[in-house]
Amino acid sequence: MNLSQLASLGLRAGLIVLIAAAAVGCASSRTLPVYRPGQVNQARTNELGTVNSVRAVIIERDPGVRTSAGARAGSSLGRAVATGQNPAAAIAGAAGSVVGEIAGRAIETLVTRVEGQEVEVRLDDGSTVTVVQENNPPFLGGERVRLIRTGTHVEVVADGSNDTNRYAGP
């Protein structure tokens, strides 16, 4: 295998990884709220209010132990190509390692970042609360909502008392 064939193979592998990551990102949209194990079977309080304002934000999820896992996997794949004494294979392996690391980091960013909104709610008692959450569903100013509190977790959901077409939460 010559240098150009190895480089082409590395670029094709990187492109496949990026396309797969984009498909995973597109397939992750949800229509219902998702609860983590610690949020199930907890007492929740509800307060009614009206959305004062909404601002788009990016929420960066904590990747936890997966930090740079994509980059390491891509780099390892690129280095695996660099076998033997052939200098061309070593160069292609190094290039594949760099491309794999860049692709892995890009995929990790796609997976750990999500669009959200900062929702300011004026509660019926006159107080104001601001909550940052994912756009699930997005809210508009003037919309009636419920603020659901579970311990320190707070979530804004559609009131649902006058809208049977929109999910209002549990």
| Tens-place pLDDT, residues 122-134 | 999 999 999 999 8
Q: Which residue has the tokens 């994509």?
A: 70
Q: Which amino acid is at 114?
A: V
Report whether pLDDT(168) > 50: no
pLDDT by residue (tens digit) across 68-106? 565 666 666 666 655 556 677 667 667 776 777 777 766
Q: Which amino acid is at 143?
A: E
Report whether pLDDT(53) > 90: yes
pLDDT computed for residue 68 by the predictor = 59
Average pLDDT over the chain, rounded to an integer = 74
- Supply angle C-alpha 154, 48, 37, rounded to 5: 30
- Can you give the pTM of this predicted structure? 0.52
CA distance 88 to 21: 29
Domain locations in the chain?
Answer: 3-158
CA distance 162 to 170: 16
